[in-house]
Structure 1
Amino acid sequence: MKLKNLVQKSLFIFLGILYFSGNNPSGKIQYFGVPTLVAPVADTRYFILDFKDDIANDTLWQQISAEGYPLRYTRPIRTGVCFDNKCRPLDVTIHWNPTGRYLGFELPEKEFLSKYDHEPFTAEEYEQLHALLTDQFSPLGSFHYNEIVPQADSTYDKVDAVSGATSANVLEYVVEGAAFTTYKLWNITYGSSQQHVQQLTEKALTPALVQLLLESPDMQDKLWALNHINGFITPDATLRQTLLTYISEKEFTLAERAIKSLNSRDLTDKTLQLEFTKKIFPASYSLKKLLLQKLQEAPALQPEVVQLLRKNLSSFTGESLTTLLDLWAHHAIFDSETRTAVEQLRQHSNPFIAKKAEIFLQKSTRPTTQK
C-alpha cells in the first residue's frame, strides 16, 4: 500500500515535528500530539459549515494525502476572552486527527495566551493546556458556564472570567488563572467542530483507509475505526483478516468492537466464517459468548463450521454450552450427528444444561424447514 510505505519511511521525521513543544524557530507557539496518519499533504480543501457556536469563522480546512485520505482538520478560532471589563482577542488554531481526536493547537507568530492579570502563559501552562485539551472525557463537558465564571461583583461591576476565584471543583481541569480560556477551547474542541470532522471522514471511508486507521498507535483511533465499519463500508479480504486478528484476549474492548464490526453479509463468506469459528475454542467465557451470538446473525452456518463446533463440544461449559445449543436451534441444525452429540447432554450434571438439551431435541423432532 503506497501510503502505508510513506508512513513507515517518514514517521520519524514527522513525529519530530509534531511533538514540537514551544521552541519554534518561526516564532509560533504550537503543541501537537501523535497523528493518526503521517504522510505528505497533497492538497487542502475547505468546507463552509454551520458550527452553531459564537465563533465568527465558519471554515474547516481538510488536509488530504495523494490517495485522498484526510490527514488533518484545522479550524482558526478568533474570539474574545473578557475579564476586568477588558477583552483580549483569542487567536488560536485547533487541529484534529481524521477520527475527530484532538491533535493540537498553535498561535500566530508573536501571539500568546494570557491569564486574568494579562500575564502570558508559561511553557508549563501551555503544556498543561495541551494535556487538558487531550482529555476528551474531562468533566469540563458537564460544567455550566456559570460554574466556570464567578458572579459579577456588584460593587465594582466586574466579571473575572478566568481568575483564581473559579470554584475549587473546576480548578483541577483548567489552567489556573485561565479557567474560561480552557473551558472555551475544550468545548470548541469537542463540540460541533469535532462532529463535522468525523462526518467528513465518514464520507471518505474506504476499506483501505479504515485499515490505516486501525494501524494508528492511538487506542481512540482504533476504536473509532472499528465503530465505523458495519453500516459504513464493506470490508475487503485484507480488512477482514485484520479484524480477525483483533479478536483475541489481548484487549477485550477491541475484540468486542471487531466482532460487532462484522455483519450478516460478511458472515456469508465461507473462509471468514470458518476462521471466525476457530476463535471460539480458546476464548474466555465472555468472548466465547459474543462469538457464538454473532454467528446467529449469519444467514446460515457452513457445514464445516457445524462439524468444527460439534467436534469441539467438550470445550464448552456452563452458559457457553447453552448458547451453542441456542445457535444450533436458531439455524435448525438438527442432523443426526448433532442430535447424537446433544443426546449425551441429557445426562449432564448441570440440570439447566440437561433441560436445554431436552428442549433442543424436542425441537429437532418437529417439522421444520432447514435453513
Structure 2
Amino acid sequence: MQNAGNWIGFWMALLLGLTGISEGKPMPAPKTESVRSYTITENDTTVYVLHLSLDGAGQPAYFYRNVFTPVCLTGECKPVYINFYWDLLGNYTRFDFPPGEELTKMDHKPFKPEDYEKLQTILANTNSLFRQVAMDDLVGKGTENLADSVDAKAGATLKTVKNEVIEGAVYTCYTLWHIAHGKVVNEMQRITESYRSEALLHRFMTSTNHHYQYWALDRVLGPGGQVPPTFAADVQGLIRGKNVFTARYALQKVAPDFWNTPERQRWLWDTYLKAGYTLQLAILKKLTTTRLLPTLTEPMAGHLPNANPEQFTLLLNLLAAQPALSEKTQLAMAGQLSGSNPDYTARIYQLLTSQRPKNRAVQAQMARFQSKPVQPQH
C-alpha cells in the first residue's frame, strides 16, 4: 500500500505540473530581503508563480522561480525540481536546486559537475538552436539520443549541435531552456517597468549590467536625444565606461547640443585621449554634428601629428568644417608645417590657406613652408 501511495503522489504531482499549477520545492528567501509573488498565466494549462526579490530598501533586485516540470519522452516521466534566476529584465543568470534534488540522464545516471557547467552555458545562450528547432528534430523517436539527421534539420554541423546539448539529457536541456527564455521574460519586463522611477533609472545607468544600461538610456533620453540635467553625469559615465558598445551607443544617441559647452567639449577630448581606437573614431564621427569651440579645436590641432591617417583625416575634416578657427588653433597647425610627414604638412597648409590667417607668426610659418624645395617622391 505504501508503494501505491507513493505512485499516487507522484502522478498527482505530475498532473499538477502538466497544468502548470505546481511549483518547485520552496526556496527560502534571504532574510535581509522581502519577496513579492506574481501568478503568471501563459495559457489555459500553464499557470505558475514568479517571485521578485526586493533588497533591504524595498527595491527590486532579481526574479526567481521554483520550477517543477515533468520530463517525459521515452514513456517514463522524470520529475525535475530546479530554481531559476533572472535579472530585472528577464535575462537568465543561473540555477540551483532545492535540498536533495539533482538532474539525471536517460539511464538514471546523475549529472556530473561538468554536465552542470555545460547546462549553465546552454541556458545562458539566448541564441541557442533550441529557439528554432523542434524537439522531434533533435532526438530519435522515443529516445534521448540525437537524431541521425539532426545536423541537417538544425542547420548546423553535428559538432555544433553536440556543443549545445548534453547527450542523454537532450529533452531536459530543451525543456529547461524554453522555461528560462519563454514568455516569462515579457512578464518580468512588464513588472520591472511598473517599478520605473528616477532612482531606478539612475541605478540602471550606473550598473555594470549592460542590459540595464541600454534599457535605462532609452527611457532617460528625450525624443531627439535630449539629456535631462539630472542624468548628465550618468550619460557621461556611460561614455567613459569600460563597455565600448554601451559607450558608443550612448554617444550616438545623445543630442549634438549636449556638447555645446566648453566644459563638455574639453571633457570629450579628454575622453578621446584615454579611449580605445573604436571609441575614438565614434567620438570624431559624433563631432561632425557639433559646432566646435576653441576649447576643442586647439588641442585637436595640436594632436594632428600623433594621429594615424584615418584619425588625421577625420580631425582635419572637423577643423575644416568650422566657419573660423581661433588664432591659437591656427598657430598650433602652423607649428606643424615643419613636420616630417609631407602628406600631413601639405594638407595642413591647404587648410590654413583657406582660413586666410591674419596672425603674422602663422603667415611666417606658411611662407617658410611654401619656400621649401619639394622633396622627390621615392
TM-score w.r.t. structure 1 length?
A: 0.64
Aligned residue type for 2:86: W
Structure 2: any 5+ residue segments left out of the alignment?
Answer: 1-23, 151-157, 221-227, 358-378
Q: Aligned partners of 1:322, 1:98: CA distance in 2, in Å?
A: 44
Q: Does structure 2 conserve the Cα–Cα contact (< 8 Å) formed by 1:345 and 1:357?
A: no
Q: Aligned partners of 1:267, 1:277: CA distance in 2, in Å?
A: 11
Q: Aligned partners of 1:333, 1:229: CA distance in 2, in Å?
A: 37
Q: Determine the structure 2 residue equivalent to 1:350.
A: 343
Q: Determine the structure 1 residue equivalent to 2:65.
A: 75
Aligned CA-pair RMSD: 4.5
Q: Does structure 1 conserve the Cα–Cα contact (< 8 Å) formed by 2:248 and 2:279?
A: yes
Verify: 1:56 aligned to 2:82, yes or no.
no
Superimposed CA distance per residue, residues 106-145 of structure 1 (whole angstroms, 9 cap, x where no aligned partner)? 4455554333244554555444423432344544445443
Quote the sequence identity (%). 25
Q: Aligned partners of 2:306, 2:68: CA distance in 1, in Å?
A: 62
Mapping 1:261-340, distance limit 5 Å: 262-264=254-256, 266-268=258-260, 270-281=262-273, 283=275, 285-298=277-290, 300-328=291-319, 332-335=322-325, 337=327
Q: Does structure 2 conserve the Cα–Cα contact (< 8 Å) formed by 1:259 and 1:294?
A: yes
Q: 1:41 aligns with which of 6, 13, 33?
A: 33
Deviates more, 1:164-173 or 1:270-279: 164-173
Q: Does structure 2 conserve the Cα–Cα contact (< 8 Å) formed by 1:44 and 1:64?
A: yes
Q: Aligned partners of 1:311, 1:46: CA distance in 2, in Å?
A: 60
Q: Secondary structure at the match of 1:113?
A: coil
Deviation, 1:275, is 0.8
Q: Does structure 2 conserve the Cα–Cα contact (< 8 Å) formed by 1:226 and 1:258?
A: no
Q: 1:101 aligns with which of 91, 99, 107?
A: 91
Q: Secondary structure at the match of 2:63?
A: strand
Deviation, 1:97, is 1.9
Q: 2:217 aligns with which of 230, 255, 274?
A: 230
Verify: 1:145 aligned to 2:132, yes or no.
no
Structure 1: any 5+ residue segments left out of the alignment?
Answer: 1-26, 31-37, 153-158, 365-371
Q: Does structure 2 conserve the Cα–Cα contact (< 8 Å) formed by 1:244 and 1:258?
A: yes
Residues 1:307 and 1:324: Cα distance change in structure 2 (over 3 Å): same
When you count helix as a share of all residues, which structure comes out higher?
2
Deviation, 1:292, is 1.3
Task: Report 1 or 2 for greater relative contact order, CA contacts < 8 Å, sequence distance ≥ 6.
Answer: 1
Q: Does structure 2 conserve the Cα–Cα contact (< 8 Å) formed by 1:61 and 1:73?
A: yes
Superimposed CA distance per residue, residues 58-98 of structure 1 (whole angstroms, 9 cap, x where no aligned partner)? 54332223545321112344443222223344443321122
TM-score w.r.t. structure 2 length?
A: 0.63
Larger of the two Rg values belongs to structure: 2
Q: Determine the structure 1 residue equivalent to 2:162.
A: 171
Residues 1:128 and 1:197: Cα distance change in structure 2 (over 3 Å): same
Mapping 1:154-193, distance limit 5 Å: 159-160=142-143, 162-163=144-145, 169=159, 170-193=161-184
Deviation, 1:276, is 1.3
Q: Aligned partners of 1:42, 1:333: CA distance in 2, in Å?
A: 60
Q: Does structure 2 conserve the Cα–Cα contact (< 8 Å) formed by 1:61 and 1:75?
A: yes
Q: How many residues align?
A: 312
Q: 2:248 aligns with which of 251, 256, 259?
A: 256
